[in-house]
Amino acid sequence: MSFRSMGAADQRLLIAGAVVAITALISFVDPGGSWGGIMIVSVLAGLAAAYIAVQPQVAPTMRLPATKGLSLLVLGAAATAASVIALVSYVGYVFKNLADIYELIFLVGLVASIYLLWVGWQAYKAEGVASMAPPAPPAPPAA
């Protein structure tokens, strides 16, 4: 696998997925308390998004069970939902410890999961527009 041979969109997707997964993993070692077991959803969604970015190089013959856009949309929604649930569950802790490094890392992960959701939405919309394109006109008869 070569990071340089990937397209710019796939590079950003790989980085966002890795950031989501790593920040969610770090949330489990927060000395102030864990952000909850729901963060395992963010870990798995981030890893899956990173895999979708490298899948054409790692396993080019494998077909995903859904389109790339739909997969990214679902993974982004799952990661964002898990992070928002954790945030709402610990809202008092969030406002009390806003300068805590683990809090900042969690917020970076939340922003990365929202970015992942946005990328998934853009890819999903692009796939929908491409599938609704009118068919090509028939070729003129040969002379």
User: Percentage of the chain surpassing pLDDT 90?
Assistant: 52
Contact 33, 93 (CB under 8 A): yes
* DSSP-based three-state secondary structure for 91: helix
Higher-pLDDT residue of 22 and 27 is 22
Is the pLDDT at 60 greater than 90? The verdict is: no
CA distance 138 to 7: 33
d(CA 79, CA 70): 14
Q: Which amino acid is at 139?
A: A
pLDDT band for position 34 (50/70/90)? confident
pLDDT in tens, 99-139: 888 889 999 999 999 999 999 999 999 988 766 666 667 77
Closest CA to 46 of 18, 13, 71: 18
What is the mean pLDDT of the segment spanning 64-88? 93
Please name which of 8, 14, 33, 132 lies closest in space to residue 75, comparing C-alpha atoms. 14
Residues 6+ apart with CB under 8 A from 74: 66, 120
